[in-house]
Structure 1
Amino acid sequence: MKFSLLAVGQQFEYQGESYIKSTPLIAHQVDTGEQRLIPRSANVVSADAPVEAQPLGDSDIEAEQLRDAFAELEQTLHQQLGNDAHFVRAFEQARQRFFERLGLAAVPVSPRAKDHSPS
């Protein structure tokens, strides 16, 4: 998660050390109390976050259902934001990371999502 999404007072880990967010840009190291400027965009691990993602099990959502739901989300976003070239590039990168993280083959981009002309 991004540092900017943490609430002031929330504990998190950044670069192997534990901190507590004290202002929107500053955190205090838990052990030493030393202040540190943390970029808003820095990736941190919230102390409240689960340590490890749970693998998909038999009772959880099936991979094909996940792919179908993602394709529907993708189509909706492209219909609403597909004319924005920055969005298209950012979404494609996020899409790739999403499926890589889950260890699943990404669904091909739907033909409708690639068509950026107004409907």
Structure 2
Amino acid sequence: MAEKKFGQLSAGQEFFWQGGKWLKTSPLLARPEDSDQARIIPRSAMVQSGETETTPDNDAGTAEIREILRQLEQECLSNIELLQLNPDQLQTLREIVAKAVQNARNKAAFSGQAC
């Protein structure tokens, strides 16, 4: 895992910080894996990126699917933050996006294209 500044991560990217796993939801917000409450994280905070090195078992198709899903999740989460909804509605939308992306990853893994 690579150490990066929080500001260098993309929305939708997972990372490790303060002993826990987090999900970046917007340029300044992230939420712990075990919570729905987003917190402001300083852009300069050093975090451990959840990215792993590519192994020889991963082919170009798998990497492409993983990247497409990451970009889709990032774009959705970024746009959700722009909506002027109440916190409960925002959280519901974040959860829907997360479940949709996870379902796509599971479907790809089931069909032999592990993400």
TM > 0.5: no
Pick the structure with greater CA Rg: 1
Higher strand share: 2
Structure ranking higher on relative contact order (CA contacts 8 Å, 6+ apart): 2
The TM-score by the shorter chain falls in which range? Answer: 0.3 to 0.5
| TM-score with structure 1 setting the length | 0.40
More helix by percentage:
2
